[in-house]
């Protein structure tokens, strides 16, 4: 699995923001292990965790945890056609960005439907400063002048684990990485755009607002680097095997 410890840590922080008490990390890992055991025969699945309050009183912190898996196939386009969102999303909303809540997913669903009705696959979301925040379900990494650039968290981006892993891989390969604000006009001069999330992995965008990107060796290299990691470097620090098997035999994304 990619970034298991980091995903559990982020999930726990999200639950703390929601005032929910989770079981121990060991119990969570055991639940994930059992779900993956039942997924034998599939080469790649999305693992999802859902915490919800079970106390009778609204102020109770007692919670239950559900762990389940979904297929990756059909989740999203492998080469998404992007459009710039017409509306802005405030960099600092009412809820913490680390909190993944039903209201967050409702907004994502509405944004994705709007993009598809307009003939695209996903949106590039801008904040109130007309700077890039993220896509609807993923972080954005811009390829420009031989380096990788992504918006910082204070621009409204989710603290993505996959993006963090990609940054480690870039550092290992000596590829420059910048974390800074990206104005929407910069996207017009981007060599390529990468979308990163645990469900998508790392994908190279096909186009933005109808402008197709030319093939980018650097973007394609980083996509391959991430995708082939379990097979080529199964003992990499970003991977965790829960079965005592080779990490390449069954992959999971949180």
Look up residue 20 and give its two tokens: 């929910």
Q: Does 70 lie in the same domain as 85? A: no
Average pLDDT, whole number, for the chain? Answer: 88
Q: Does 104 lie in the same domain as 49? A: no
Q: Does 101 lie in the same domain as 60? A: no
The whole domain housing 46 covers 4-74+238-253
Over the stretch 21-38, which tens digit does the pLDDT of each residue have? Answer: 999 999 999 999 999 888
Q: Does 91 lie in the same domain as 11? A: no
Q: Does 244 lie in the same domain as 201? A: no
Distances, alpha carbon 164 to alpha carbons 2, 14, 31, 77, 111, in Å: 11, 18, 24, 22, 25
Res 142: pLDDT = 98
Residue 114: band (very low, low, confident or very high) from pLDDT cuts 50, 70, 90: confident
CB 51 within 8 A of CB 20: yes
CATH number at residue 201: 3.20.10.10
Q: Does 36 lie in the same domain as 127? A: no
Q: Does 105 lie in the same domain as 23? A: no
Instruction: Give the chain's domain count.
Output: 2
Q: Does 119 lie in the same domain as 33? A: no
Res 251: pLDDT = 45
Identify the weakest region by mean pLDDT among 4-8, 103-107, 160-164.
Answer: 103-107
Residues 6 or more apart whose CB falls under 8 angstroms from that of 59 comprise 19
For residues 1 and 239, give the distance between their C-alpha atoms in angstroms, rounded to a whole number: 5
Taking the complete model, does pTM exceed 0.85, yes or no? yes
Q: Does 158 lie in the same domain as 88? A: yes
Q: Does 70 lie in the same domain as 95? A: no
CB 31 within 8 A of CB 67: yes
Res 94: pLDDT = 62
CB 85 within 8 A of CB 134: no
Q: Does residue 41 surpass a pLDDT of 90?
A: no
The single-letter DSSP state of residue 214 is P
Q: Does 102 lie in the same domain as 60? A: no
């Amino acid at each position: 699995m990619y970034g298991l410890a980091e995903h559990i840590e982020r999930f726990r922080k999200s639950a703390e923001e929601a005032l929910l008490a989770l079981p121990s990390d060991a119990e969570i890992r055991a639940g994930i292990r059992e779900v993956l055991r039942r997924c034998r025969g599939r080469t790649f699945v999305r693992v999802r965790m859902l915490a919800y309050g079970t106390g009778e009183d609204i102020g109770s912190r007692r919670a239950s945890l559900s762990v389940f898996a979904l297929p990756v196939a059909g989740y999203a386009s492998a080469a998404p056609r992007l459009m710039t969102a017409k509306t802005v999303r405030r960099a600092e909303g009412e809820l913490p960005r680390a909190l993944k809540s039903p209201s967050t997913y409702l907004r994502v669903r509405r944004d994705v439907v709007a993009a598809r009705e307009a003939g695209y696959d996903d949106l590039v979301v801008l904040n109130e400063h007309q700077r890039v925040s993220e896509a609807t379900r993923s972080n954005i990494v811009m390829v420009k002048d031989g380096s990788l650039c992504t918006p910082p968290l204070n621009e409204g981006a989710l603290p993505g684990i996959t993006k963090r892993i990609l940054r480690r891989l870039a550092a290992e390969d000596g590829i420059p990485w910048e974390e800074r604000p990206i104005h929407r006009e910069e996207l017009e001069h981007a060599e390529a755009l990468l979308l990163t999330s645990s469900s998508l992995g790392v994908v190279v965008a096909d186009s933005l607002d109808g402008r197709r990107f030319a093939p980018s060796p650097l973007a394609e290299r980083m996509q391959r680097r991430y995708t082939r990691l379990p097979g080529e470097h199964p003992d990499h620090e970003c991977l965790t095997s829960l079965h005592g098997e080779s990490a390449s035999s069954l992959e999971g994304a949180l």
